[in-house]
Amino acid sequence: MSTPLPSDETKIQVSDSALQPVKSTGDPNHANSLDSSDFPEGGATAWGTVLGAFLIQFCGAGYSTSYGVFQDFYAQTYLTNCTPSAIAWIGSVNALLLTSVGLVSGRLLDRGAFYHVMKIGCLLQCLFLFMLSLAKPNGYYQIFLSQGIGSGVAIGLTHVPSIAVVSHHFQRRRPLAMGFVVAGASMGSILQPIMLNHLINGSLGFANGVRASAGMISGLLLIAYPLMRTRLPPKPQAVSYTRILQNSLRDCAYVCACLWGITFEVGFLFISFYLQLDSRMHGLSKGFSFYSLTIFNSGSLIGRLTVGAVSSYVGVPNAIIGCSFISSALIFSMIGLRSAASVALIGISYGFFSGGCTALSSPLVSYLTPEMSDIGARTGILFATSGNLGAPICGAILTSDYIWWKPAVFAGVSGSYEAVFFFG
């Protein structure tokens, strides 16, 4: 795809001091060609990009990680003829595409096609959310195609570029800035479960409730798109994934980071998909169960913001190792879920440390990447290789009899390996 070029009227000015804010072109179709060694570390353009990326994460990853609401609603109301594993495949495919499409969108970011990718992704996300509202009860494949595949591809187009573009503006403060961006996913997964539970389980019903949420997301995406700006010039030659993969496979630290991502997703998606359903099946009140995901994601938000700031002092590798150890141990506590207090404790504690891991994944890639121009591609590779088979496997282990301790043990054992890979 061709690289956007500045217009004749647009003058790109670079200050002699890297401490001064970078001036925007004012045109979202054009990228600034600036020296990659000059990081403004702030300014209106940089923080505007952070805010726009925050909103993209709120609408994209925030919506996807709220799938536990749909898992509960589909299992008990809308897809009653499907098994928990089959229902989990919808959210898992959505999450898999969210990350794997990053292989393409990350490369396009490196090639300077950021604005085209974001525009297409935002439009498709709005379209497929409205298409989801047309799905009929027990229409599994209608929901699978619109929510699982369509929405997954759309969110995947915007997910990696919106995170990686922050690296154009920050270096020293990059963990803090990226932590704020990915906190948008936590904020979305805090507020949207509340909204979705009251919409689709309330008087509006599934169709109108989904349409209402789609309208809100469309408005936020319309605000987010013009806020974001690229700063670094695109690489003059096409990024070679063959070269990047070859270099990455020889990088033991990066390989261990990818293995960490695979094992981390098993435990994370188990709790994210099944915490609300687990609460309902153990006799907790419907009102409290609706807030279980909000409690979990509130802890995640605190963790993303806190750990991102702490990592600036202790280092990204040290912070992510500590969070990985603790979060993997907490997965086993799902075996003892019996009361509202246990749901709140598990949700807050696991959410905090898993949120720290999520916030540090992108800074970890930046830390392990020697060439700035490869950050988008390497971030996409990490997200794509994370895999999202854990939730369907846990659903198959859970069975229609809902034997909860079995998937909890499986997810806990799988998650235990996430910390081990950092010592490989």
Most distant CA pair in the chain, distance: 67
Q: How many Å is the Cα radius of gyration of the chain?
A: 21
Query: In the predicted model, what is the mean pLDDT of the chain?
Result: 81
The per-residue pLDDT for 23 is 41
Instruction: Mention every residue, 6+ apart, whose C-beta is less than 8 A from residue 95.
Output: 64, 67, 152, 265, 269, 388, 391
φ and ψ of 36, to 5 deg: -70, -15
The per-residue pLDDT for 259 is 83
- The token pair at 122 is 């935002």
Instruction: Mention every residue, 6+ apart, whose C-beta is less than 8 A from residue 85.
Output: 392, 393, 395, 396, 398
- Condensed to tens digits (0 to 9), the pLDDT of residues 88-107 reads 999 989 988 887 887 788 77
Nearest to 244 by CA among 384, 73, 388, 62: 384
| Residue 87, H or E segment | helix 84-100
Q: What are the helix and strand counts (H, E) for the chain?
A: 19, 0
The per-residue pLDDT for 27 is 45
Please tell me whether residue 194 adopts helix, strand or coil conformation.
helix
The per-residue pLDDT for 149 is 94
- For the chain, residues with pLDDT lower than 70 are 1-37, 235-241, 373, 376, 380, 387-388, 418-424
Angstrom distance (rounded) from CA 377 to CA 21: 27
Angstrom distance (rounded) from CA 133 to CA 139: 12
The per-residue pLDDT for 196 is 92
The per-residue pLDDT for 419 is 62
